[in-house]
């Protein structure tokens, strides 16, 4: 069997798509021991002859794990252990930039990390990890995602700053005003620390976002009890979001085709090269992390 070195991390509703076999046939469910716990939810998927690993980051049943409680380090370690070199992920953030549309797509190129209490590095004791963040998302994977989504939606946003909050609660109006002043376009809860952890283990990482709602205070919305986000999203917007979500498997498949056809020429694979050259670490990445 050829080596599987590409993975997809699915966000909200990935559990449904997996159940409906939208991504193809699950041919294996590897169980991976990591220093942060065992990872049992990764699936090896065969999509029309193309094989890749797939993980629903919120679990296999509806939102079994919310954003602050995802075991990000275990997930990224497990992918590294399986030989994964490139990860494409998706998420459904809210909109801070009023020029963006609900139901549209964006491929973020920058991040602001406003998370508060989740472990965000592997290097808690090792004196490593002063890694440049000029491109927090892999430029090559971003290119593949932009090509792929551009075929489905000519209006996909090519650059956006994603701000990551702790969650699971949504943001207050004052927080959104603050984040807008920071220059954030999108607000979500999951890409930090996923993107940073991947870089620490020299794995390429990029994300595609389908935009689910206008953030609090951006538009007037009556509070409605017992419905999605208590009325932040209208019925019409919900339909657009569902349509965007329906396109996600195809967008991912197209992006993976591009990824598979391209050599890996980006800087991500050398994120820790400085430390290797100094002799501080060896090629054995497991020894980079605290024992």
Do the bridges between strand 50-56 and strand 43-47 make them parallel or antiparallel, or are there none, so unpaired?
antiparallel
Beta bridge partners of 32: 39
Per-residue exposure over 1-25, b if at least 16 CB sit within 10 Å of its own CB, e if not: eeebbbbbbbbbbbbebbeeebbbe
Which of 268, 271, 281, 289 touches Zn ion by CB under 5 A? Answer: 268
For Zn ion, the closer CB: 186 or 204: 204
CB of 6 to Zn ion, least distance (A): 12
Q: Which helix (H) or strand (E) holds 110?
A: strand 110-113
Which of 74, 170, 228, 266 touches Zn ion by CB under 5 A? Answer: 266
Q: Give the count of residues interacting with Zn ion (CB under 5 A).
A: 4
Beta bridge partners of 47: 50
Judged by CB under 5 A, which stretch of 32-40, 156-164, 199-207, 229-237 contacts Zn ion?
199-207
Beta strands in 234-281 (DSSP E): none
Which of 204, 259, 272, 281 touches Zn ion by CB under 5 A? Answer: 204
252 closest CA partner among 9, 76, 4: 9
Judged by CB under 5 A, which stretch of 11-19, 132-140, 238-246, 281-289 contacts Zn ion?
132-140
Beta bridge partners of 210: 105
User: Contacts with Zn ion in 136-165 (CB under 5 A)?
Assistant: 138
Judged by CB under 5 A, which stretch of 47-55, 72-80, 230-238, 267-275 contacts Zn ion?
267-275
CA angle 208, 263, 276 (to 5 degrees): 95
State yes or no: residue 131 binds Zn ion (CB under 5 A): no
CB of 5 to Zn ion, least distance (A): 12
By CB under 5 A, name the binding residues for Zn ion.
138, 204, 266, 268
């Amino acid at each position: 069997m050829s080596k599987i070195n590409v993975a997809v991390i699915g966000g909200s509703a990935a559990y449904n798509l997996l159940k409906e076999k939208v991504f193809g046939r699950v041919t294996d469910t590897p169980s991976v021991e990591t220093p942060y716990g065992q990872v049992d939810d990764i699936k090896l998927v065969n999509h029309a002859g193309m094989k890749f690993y797939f993980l629903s980051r919120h679990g296999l049943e509806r939102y079994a794990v919310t954003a602050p409680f995802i075991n990000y380090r275990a997930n990224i370690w497990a992918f590294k252990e399986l030989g994964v070199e490139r990860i494409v992920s998706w998420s459904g953030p809210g909109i801070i930039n009023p020029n963006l549309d609900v139901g549209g797509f964006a491929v973020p190129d920058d991040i602001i990390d406003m998370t508060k209490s989740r472990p965000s590095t592997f290097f808690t004791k090792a004196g490593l990890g002063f890694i440049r963040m000029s491109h927090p998302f892999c430029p090559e994977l971003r290119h593949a995602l932009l090509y792929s989504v551009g075929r489905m939606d000519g209006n996909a946003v090519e650059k956006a700053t994603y701000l990551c909050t702790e969650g699971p609660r949504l943001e207050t109006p004052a927080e959104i005003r603050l984040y807008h002043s920071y220059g954030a376009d999108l607000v979500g809860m999951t890409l930090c620390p996923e993107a940073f952890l991947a870089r620490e283990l020299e794995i390429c990482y990029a994300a595609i976002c389908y935009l689910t709602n206008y953030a609090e205070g951006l538009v007037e919305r009556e509070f409605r009890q017992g419905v999605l986000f208590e009325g932040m999203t209208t019925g019409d917007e919900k339909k657009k979001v569902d349509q965007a979500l329906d396109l996600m498997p195809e967008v991912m498949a197209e992006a993976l085709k591009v990824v598979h056809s391209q050599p890996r020429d980006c800087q991500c694979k050398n994120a820790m090269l400085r430390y290797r050259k100094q002799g501080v670490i060896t090629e054995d990445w497991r020894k980079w992390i605290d024992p």
